[in-house]
Amino acid sequence: MLNIALFGAPGAGKGTQSELLMKKHNLVYIATGDILRQEIADGTELGLAAKSIIETGGLVSDEIIVQIIEKKITTNPDAAGFLFDGFPRTFVQAYILEGLLLKMHTSLTCLLSLEVPPEESLQRLLKRAKTSGRSDDTEVVIKNRLKEYEEKTAPVARFYQDQDLYFPVEGVGSVERINGQLEEIIEQELRKVLFNVVLLGYPGAGRGTQARNLARQYNLVYLSTGEMLKEEIGRGSPVGRKVQAIFDQGDLVPDEIVIKLIEKHIRRNPEAGGFIFKGFPRTLVQAYILDGLLRKINSSVSFTLDIQCPTLELIKRLDARGKTDRRMSYDMETTTIVHRLEQHEKICLPAVDYYGKQGKVTVIDGEGSPDEVWARIEGPAEEAWRKAR
């Protein structure tokens, strides 16, 4: 998801650039002044509260501001991203925005600041005042507005500079040249956005095959807990011996073992374009753990695939795999296979519900050849990739 905050002193040209950015990236525009006026016009509870404050000469509180912004965000669940014009204006509001986006499992991509010399801003606004008929836009008033902007936004700029998200852009020049600079920064930041995929589905659903397809298509690092654990077993490590005993019973490996292995592989791939997780998370607890692991690298789950197959088909596939060199110890006997499927249903479904409530689950019919299943995955995966960027 592309989330941009656009800054600029009055007269810097934010309106023009906002329109171009929204059109190019299909963003939802959020300007606190506009949505506040709309709430007042609609006579909503928030609008009436804001109106009473404004009429007495007061400033609308952050408590009201955060509610109207959250309302705008939550009423656009399918948005490709948001463009915040003039928000956050204060250090406190910067934290508010961070919390709102975190609640949506996303974050700010960048803050773009149109830098225009004060004298240039003054001349632009004086010229605009002549054509707009706004008699209150006197030189004294405009200078006060410019001074207030500098004083209030300086702490906000530092907040995002500390996160390497603040990008000043020269705001003097042609509209096309300025827009080109903005787009260059956006593309640069989007390249840093990870595309993280979680593959859900019962054992035997064909997740491994499709995970490799996705990894090739989007340059992802494939992290299969099964393969990582198998590697530990092959090395004969203490962890491997412990895991082998658990596998022999057809049970799930404890979280503390899996977490350490996954975190190790994430650290090994700092230049990855994203990760695809197979076999993790299996439980609701692990879903929360994965959120935490990804948050440590300023990322989140982008896309979740649930590949579904009839139970009989799953048993047939696992039984057939047990006769090949790709077999795992838990594929060797039908009773163990059935036990694994029962465990999956009992333990793993809450994780599916967790991602479902976030609107991140795409259900795929897993019957047919690998190519047929991949053909069903390609479209939703491409859409999710574009949305993540």
Could you write out the three-class secondary structure of 212-242? HHHHHHHCCEEEEHHHHHHHHHHHCCHHHHH
Sequence-ordered list of residues with C-beta below 8 angstroms from that of 107, at least 6 positions apart, any chain: 3, 98, 101, 298, 300
Structure tokens at 322: 């047990």
Per-residue pLDDT of the chain (389 residues), as tens digits, is 899 999 988 888 888 999 999 999 999 999 888 888 888 999 999 889 888 887 776 668 888 888 989 999 888 877 889 999 978 988 889 999 999 888 877 889 999 999 999 888 888 888 877 776 655 567 888 888 788 888 888 889 999 999 999 999 999 999 999 999 999 999 999 888 899 999 998 888 889 999 999 999 999 999 998 888 888 899 898 888 998 988 887 777 888 899 999 999 999 998 889 999 998 998 899 999 999 999 888 888 999 999 998 888 888 877 777 666 665 555 556 777 777 777 777 778 888 899 998 888 999 999 999 999 999 999 999 988 887 77
3-state class (DSSP) for residue 177: helix
**Spatial CA neighbour of 379 closest among 214, 221, 219, 200:** 214
Kindly report, residue by residue over 188-236, the tens digit of the pLDDT.
Answer: 998 888 999 999 988 888 899 999 999 999 999 999 988 888 888 998 9
| Distance, CA of 85 to CA of 122 (rounded, Å) | 20
The domains found in the chain, sorted by start residue, are 2-27+79-190 (3.40.50.300), 197-388 (3.40.50.300)
Kindly report, residue by residue over 274-286, the tens digit of the pLDDT.
Answer: 999 998 998 899 9
3-state class (DSSP) for residue 304: strand
CB 215 within 8 A of CB 277: no
Would the CA dihedral through 311, 313, 316, 317 be positive or negative? negative
Sequence-ordered list of residues with C-beta below 8 angstroms from that of 48, at least 6 positions apart, any chain: 40
- 0.75 cut: is pTM over it? no
DSSP labels, 199-212: EEE-TTSSHHHHHH
